Amino acid sequence: MKNKLNRTLEQINASLVNAIIFCIGFICLLVVFFVKHPDYRNILLSIGCSLIASSVVSFLTSKYLVRMNRIKRIVEYWGLEAIYETRQEMNRSTDIAFESLEKNLDIIAWGLKSFRDAKDKIVREKVKRGLKIRFVTLHPDSEYVKQREIDEKEASGQIRHTILNLQNWIDDLKTIAPKPENIQIKYYNSLPEDFYFRVDDHVFIGPYLWGISSQQTISYEFKGSTRGTDYYKDYFERLWNATEFYTKPG
């Protein structure tokens, strides 16, 4: 409500200033008809035309600038860094963020096979230095896993297999971590179907859409101490601590 009021006031102020300038210009043109001295007429005519032209340009520009400033404030408030047409495109940004990763890696995903294949060595190095990893994934025997395989047109058991491999990978990381509790994985057997990837102060999120491979799905990046980053961090914490949400692996 407050943001809407601010936008309305901005538009009113901009329109009011332009209206005043336009009126002054229009008055100058009217006065021309009552002034006989040619030099004064030319001066008033020049001023009037300039003010009217200026007000028109200013009006059009102000509409554009008000909109751009509003968009800028929204982006800065939420910390929206980028929108990616595909998760595959987003991976280039996650790679850059991952280079400076030191403290926390929180993930909600299915099996993340491509990530594990590409980052296994560097993850192991960071885990040895104290990196904390929390992973949330679907139970490999969940009906939702079977349905997702159908939705993505994957071979039967394909996603289940990647989740089982993920479980083995997590168990392996525990053996090299300074503290085994630094590496944790939890399983759930319900919706939501969301992708979440936190790399310290970077948060990458996106949906799992029907009929579209996860790597071809639109995704978003949030960064810094912003509303968007905090929103998803808080969501992950609530999810992680909601014991009723999880199920034990078979």
Is residue 165 located within the same domain as residue 224? yes
Is residue 33 located within the same domain as residue 97? no
* CA atoms within 13 A of residue 56's CA, in its CB half-sphere: 7
Last residue of a domain, one of 78, 113, 129: 78
Q: What is the pTM of this model?
A: 0.73
Residue tagged 């590409």 (tokens) = 118
Strands 104-108 and 132-138, by their bridges, are parallel
pLDDT, one tens digit per residue, over 9-52 is 566 666 777 788 888 878 888 887 888 778 877 888 888 888 88
Is residue 99 located within the same domain as residue 216? yes
Q: Note whether 24 and 51 are within 8 A (CB).
A: yes
Is residue 104 located within the same domain as residue 20? no
Last residue of a domain, one of 78, 113, 131: 78
Closest by Cα among 171, 226, 217 to 193: 217
Is residue 10 located within the same domain as residue 60? yes
Is residue 118 located within the same domain as residue 66? no
User: Which strands form 104-108's sheet, in the order they lie side by side?
Assistant: 80-84, 219-223, 202-207, 194-199, 104-108, 132-138, 183-188, 246-247
- In one-letter notation, the amino acid at residue 54 is S
Q: How far apart are CA 18 and CA 59, in angstroms?
A: 6
Is residue 51 located within the same domain as residue 136? no
Rg (CA), the chain: 29
Q: Which domain holds residue 186?
A: 80-247
Would you list the DSSP string of 121-170? HHHHHHHHTT-EEEEEEE-TT-HHHHHHHHHTTPPTTHHHHHHHHHHHHH
What's the total number of domains in the chain?
Answer: 2
Is residue 104 located within the same domain as residue 224? yes
CATH (domain of 111): 3.30.870.10
Q: How far apart are CA 70 and CA 59, in angstroms?
A: 17
Is residue 72 located within the same domain as residue 96? no
Is residue 178 located within the same domain as residue 161? yes
Is residue 152 located within the same domain as residue 216? yes
What average pLDDT does this structure show over 192-201? 87
pLDDT, one tens digit per residue, over 134-173 is 999 999 998 888 888 888 888 888 999 999 999 999 999 9
Is residue 98 located within the same domain as residue 55? no
In degrees rounded to 5, what are phi and psi of residue 201? -100, 10
Strands 104-108 and 202-207, by their bridges, are unpaired
Q: Does residue 6 surpass a pLDDT of 70?
A: no
In degrees rounded to 5, what are phi and psi of residue 185? -140, 140
